């Protein structure tokens, strides 16, 4: 070891004397450590491949390289003009089996690793160097991932995407060192995996009467037979699944299947209504937990799924269960009484724990969305935390693994640029920079617990994504940020460097037939959000009337949020917009002294899908004593529902003198939200 290190050191010393040291490397994810120079080694038609590894490993690597731009001929005795891959027992400075080292000089490129996965990831770095820099820079790279789990979820239920599309995404994920692909295979919109024992799941449950999810959802949500003239949908045969799983494994990606339970199961309960609480199709979204036939069904389905997917984890969903039928269902109530369950949350936990025992008996583990914490977490479960990070931290505190996937940073169904410039999305605003800003390890996480934070995952729900081109636009380049977060050390990450590398990656993705968002033409955040607003109310005391509190989950800056000079962006969840759910806003601002006033106004946001609406009435008043208010204007507004994200200022212009300004806004939607960002006084 010492002799080989000396040789490397001397090589680098010689190179350093004759070549300029490079400060950056155009690779995603950014390697942990590198010492590189401007001279590069370029492969040519005479270059050879040498692999020191067991024969099966050697063949897999050679076969993969043959599919790339390198396409090298094997010559194990070659010592010059060579790509040399070598499996070794240990690698200095690397603790992960996925880590690797690269040394490059005039004789070629050498990759060393302790596992085939490590050699594969080293190879991706070499391929990116060739693509981005014309060759592999002289010098050395030592690299390993920050997290063991680096994943993406594709929703193939809401709109079906076939095996060729999935394999195409696997190629890109592997190129950027991602190692998990989670397939959301079942949901109301369609059951997407063949189950031999239950053919109606795909004969009926995989097909609907309208191709576009939104049209189907708003027009009866009907399923049709596979051979119907108006059938739209599809599913993976078991042979398709085997092909996808094998293809992914060759690229060191594990496919994790998700079979939703107990909710999001309308398609299964229409195909087999006897396992719903009412035994009627089109009536329920949740399985009947009191019915023993439910567990027979789920165990039979999972048995076939487990046979197809060799993954450690089987994802069982567990999110957003309505539980509305369980309190009135005789079988569910009987189950609760027999098991001593105090509420429907514990009934859900009963299902999750029972399914976990079954999955564990097959040598696998369950993973679920953070709602599986409700009513008590199953003993061996891993939690995927999507409603913020609290669920993940709760799981870790109790000794369970967690994967961070908070919607604020990891839900790619949101707009990635100014909404008016983008195809329809579910709402929100999640640009590349915000994705990249996420650090999955919260400051409050104790060091000894950090090892239970297993990794990070991006999720792409497909309600508003009907085509492969749209799906790829939503994935890329944002998944590259997740790749770097999951792999690179936190202290090495820097957005401007990443964005420059992502710009290059976008062009290469285009050249390979992908359809990424054109990052070079990014518009960016809402213009008013880009700078602070200076006005008379900024920094002044704001008092909320009793009965008009903001919602804690959308508090923004709390009592100072509407007078801090900050305007919200395209997303109500950006920490600037303040949310009100109880029907109205009533706030008084003390300007501290009587002043000449010419304008009072506030912006509101509307996006109807998450029930965020404009106010139906706004009243603006002024006072000298905070008791006797003079009405300046009352604005009545008819709220019109539409599919777009919109903003409107409700304000008054004129001339008056006042010390106190009162701003009232009312909602005509029971259960609807009002969101405003700043009350501007001039």
**Nearest by Cα to 129 from 145, 148, 143:** 143
Question: Among residues 274, 320, 469, 624, which one is catalytic?
Answer: 320
H-type helices in 398-487, by residue range? Answer: 407-410, 432-436, 468-475, 478-487
Q: How far is CA 362 from CA 244, 356, 466, 472, 670, in A?
A: 22, 10, 36, 35, 48
> Is residue 648 within a helix (H) or strand (E), and if so which, with residue range?
strand 646-666
What per-residue string of b and e applies to 145-173 under the rule 16 or more CB within 10 Å gives b? bbbbbbbbbbbbbbbbbeeeebebbbebb
Strands (E), 526-644: 541-544, 578-580, 584-606, 617-623, 629-636
Our answer to whether residue 264 is catalytic in this structure is yes
Give CA–CA dist 132/508, Å, rounded: 9
Rg (C-alpha) for the chain, rounded Å, is 29
Q: How far is CA 395 from CA 69, 313, 542, 572, 616, in A?
A: 44, 16, 38, 28, 42
Asked if 657 and 625 touch (Cβ cutoff 8 Å), the reply is no
Question: Among residues 264, 315, 400, 470, which one is catalytic?
Answer: 264
Residue 675 β-bridge partners = 579
Give CA–CA dist 172/476, Å, rounded: 10
**Nearest by Cα to 676 from 599, 578, 574, 532:** 578
Counting Cα atoms < 13 Å in the Cβ hemisphere of 202 gives: 16
Question: Among residues 143, 144, 155, 187, which one is catalytic?
Answer: 187
Give CA–CA dist 427/424, Å, rounded: 8
Asked if 306 and 314 touch (Cβ cutoff 8 Å), the reply is yes
Pairing between β-strand 541-544 and β-strand 584-606 as defined by DSSP bridges: antiparallel
Pairing between β-strand 100-105 and β-strand 108-113 as defined by DSSP bridges: antiparallel
Retrieve residue 650's tokens. 């409700």
Give CA–CA dist 499/488, Å, rounded: 15
Query: Catalytic residues, which ones?
Result: 187, 264, 320
């Amino acid at each position: 070891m010492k002799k080989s290190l000396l040789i490397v050191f001397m090589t680098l010393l010689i190179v350093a004397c004759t070549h300029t040291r490079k400060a950056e490397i155009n690779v995603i994810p950014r390697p942990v450590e590198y010492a590189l120079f401007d001279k590069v080694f370029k492969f040519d038609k005479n270059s050879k491949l040498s692999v020191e590894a067991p024969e099966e490993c050697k063949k897999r690597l050679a076969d993969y390289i043959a599919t790339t731009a390198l396409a090298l001929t094997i010559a194990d005795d070659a010592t010059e003009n060579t790509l040399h891959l070598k499996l070794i027992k240990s690698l200095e400075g690397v603790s992960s089996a996925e880590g690797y080292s690269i040394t490059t000089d005039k004789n070629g490129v050498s990759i060393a690793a302790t596992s085939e996965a490590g050699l594969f990831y080293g190879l991706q770095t070499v391929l990116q160097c060739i693509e981005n820099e014309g060759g592999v820079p002289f010098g050395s790279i030592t690299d390993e991932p920050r997290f063991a789990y680096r994943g993406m979820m594709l929703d193939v239920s809401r709109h079906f995407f076939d095996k060729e599309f999935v394999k195409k995404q696997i190629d890109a994920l592997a190129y950027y060192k991602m190692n998990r692909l989670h397939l959301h295979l079942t949901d109301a919109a369609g059951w997407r995996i063949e189950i031999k024992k239950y053919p109606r799941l795909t004969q009926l449950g995989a097909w609907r009467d309208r191709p576009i999810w939104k049209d189907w959802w708003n027009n009866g949500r009907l399923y049709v037979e596979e051979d119907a003239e108006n059938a739209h949908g599809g599913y993976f045969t078991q042979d398709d699944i085997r092909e996808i799983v094998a293809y992914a494994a060759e690229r060191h990606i594990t496919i994790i299947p998700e079979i939703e339970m107990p909710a999001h199961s309308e398609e299964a309960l229409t195909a087999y209504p006897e396992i719903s609480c009412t035994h009627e199709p089109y009536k329920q979204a949740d399985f009947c937990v009191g019915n023993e036939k439910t567990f027979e069904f789920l165990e039979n389905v999972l048995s076939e799924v487990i046979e197809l997917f060799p993954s450690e984890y089987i994802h069982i969903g567990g999110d957003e269960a309505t539980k509305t039928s369980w309190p009135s269902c005789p079988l569910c109530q009987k189950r609760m009484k027999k098991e001593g369950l105090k509420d429907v949350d514990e009934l859900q936990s009963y299902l999750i724990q029972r399914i976990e025992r079954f999955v564990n008996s097959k040598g696998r583990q369950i993973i679920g969305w953070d709602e599986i914490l409700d009513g008590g977490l199953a003993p061996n479960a891993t939690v995927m935390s999507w409603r913020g990070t609290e669920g993940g931290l709760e799981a870790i505190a109790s000794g369970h693994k967690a994967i961070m996937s908070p919607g604020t940073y990891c839900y790619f169904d949101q707009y990635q640029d100014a909404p008016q410039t983008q195809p329809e999305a579910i709402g929100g605003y999640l640009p590349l920079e915000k994705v990249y800003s996420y650090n999955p390890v919260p400051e409050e996480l104790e060091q000894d617990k950090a090892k239970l934070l297993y990794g990070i995952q991006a999720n792409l729900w497909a309600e508003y994504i009907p085509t492969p081109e749209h799906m790829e636009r939503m994935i890329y380049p944002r998944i590259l940020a997740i790749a770097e977060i999951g792999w690179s050390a936190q202290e090495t990450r820097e957005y401007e460097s990443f964005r420059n590398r992502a710009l290059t990656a976008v062009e290469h993705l285009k050249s390979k037939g992908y359809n990424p968002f054109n990052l070079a033409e990014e518009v960016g955040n809402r213009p008013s959000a880009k700078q602070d607003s200076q006005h008379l109310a900024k920094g002044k005391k704001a008092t909320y009337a009793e009965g008009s509190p903001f919602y804690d989950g959308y508090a923004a800056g709390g009592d100072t949020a509407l007078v801090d000079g900050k305007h919200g962006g395209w997303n109500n969840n950006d920490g600037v917009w303040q949310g009100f759910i109880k029907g109205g806003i009533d706030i008084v601002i003390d300007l501290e002294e009587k002043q000449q006033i010419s304008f009072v106004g506030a912006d509101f946001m509307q996006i109807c899908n998450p029930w965020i609406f404009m106010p139906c009435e706004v009243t603006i008043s002024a006072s000298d004593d905070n008791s006797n208010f003079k009405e300046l204007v009352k604005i009545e507004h008819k709220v019109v529902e539409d599919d777009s994200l919109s903003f409107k200022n409700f304000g008054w212009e004129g001339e008056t003198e006042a010390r106190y300004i009162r701003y009232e806004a009312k909602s005509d939607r029971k259960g609807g939200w009002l969101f405003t960002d700043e009350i501007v006084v001039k």
